[in-house]
Structure 1
């Protein structure tokens, strides 16, 4: 049980700070699809893959004092920023979390915006389909996002870059 909590704390610690609940969901989902040991179950939701389990774990970790959740007002909405606390660092120091290749992937993903990560995670969610079918699904399910064919190509290229980074040396 605590292993899954430690993996999430480690991810946030590695990233330094993650701004946005949606972004956090997408980062963990993408990392899971890259074969990092995240075990939360995801379903397709309004903004792509979403895990109720992950949401509950984050809430638990905040309540236990291992993560900071800061609510910031942005142009008419609130965004939540997550970072590790000293207690979280202490907890992490007694856990064995071995994911050395995760750092490069996480730092890269954390520099991307949530909209792009939503596209990448959606592509990965439908990774058993042909690219043309995935593109069709994106245009249908994500029509409000107005993704372009070029952005979809960029998402596929980005996934390949992440796969290369995720491979252990």
Structure 2
């Protein structure tokens, strides 16, 4: 078992259940940008940052029986639910893994919609741009989402909390 697989299992252990492949992709990317030790490579895709490596690792963990993938038919699409299995938990308990506590970030991300996480991860992907250029970029690469200025402002204000800046636990 590779360390990167075990890190994902630790994520699922702390998250309990993740609903949606897009949400899973965005959560891991955002946690990676928050300096959590996830090493999956991402490229920009239709729904924002996407990692083929992450998809493959999750599928391998499902094939090993360490993560359960449940499919649910919702209207015109399939919704996926992911959860660490008892076998996965037993394996993880035997695997020494030095991971920072990410439970608070996971909780904050789970409480947000996939739409918001798509915006947030897109903003983090294009970090380094001025606010005006970032807003233009979002409207260019995500025209169908029609993100409002209020949604963009909300994401801008959310980023420092995810990074641990100005967080009450860190003296801010």
Q: Which residue of 1 aligns with 2:161?
A: 161
Q: Structure 2 CA distance, aligned partners of 1:150 and 1:47?
A: 20
Q: Which residue of 2 aligns with 1:38?
A: 38
SS at match of 2:49: strand
For the 8 Å contact 1:7–1:38, the answer to whether it is kept is: yes
Q: Which residue of 2 aligns with 1:102?
A: 102
Q: Structure 2 CA distance, aligned partners of 1:96 and 1:32?
A: 20
Residue 97 (structure 1) shift: 2.8
Q: How many correspondences in the alignment?
A: 169
The gaps in structure 1 that reach 5 residues or longer are: none
For 1:12-161, what aligned pairs fall within 5 Å after superposition?
Answer: 12-161=12-161
The gaps in structure 2 that reach 5 residues or longer are: none
Name the TM-score, length of structure 1 as normaliser.
0.95
Q: Structure 2 CA distance, aligned partners of 1:133 and 1:11?
A: 33
Residue 99 (structure 1) shift: 3.1
For the 8 Å contact 2:36–2:100, the answer to whether it is kept is: no
> Which stretch shifts more, 119-128 or 90-99?
90-99
Name the TM-score, length of structure 2 as normaliser.
0.93
Residue 100 (structure 1) shift: 4.1
SS at match of 1:44: strand
For the 8 Å contact 1:3–1:95, the answer to whether it is kept is: no
Residue 98 (structure 1) shift: 3.2
Deviations 1:71-128 (A, max 9, x none): 0111211011000001100111122233343110001101111110000000000112
Q: Structure 2 CA distance, aligned partners of 1:136 and 1:98?
A: 40
Q: Structure 2 CA distance, aligned partners of 1:157 and 1:95?
A: 37
Q: Structure 2 CA distance, aligned partners of 1:155 and 1:76?
A: 29
Q: Structure 2 CA distance, aligned partners of 1:93 and 1:101?
A: 16
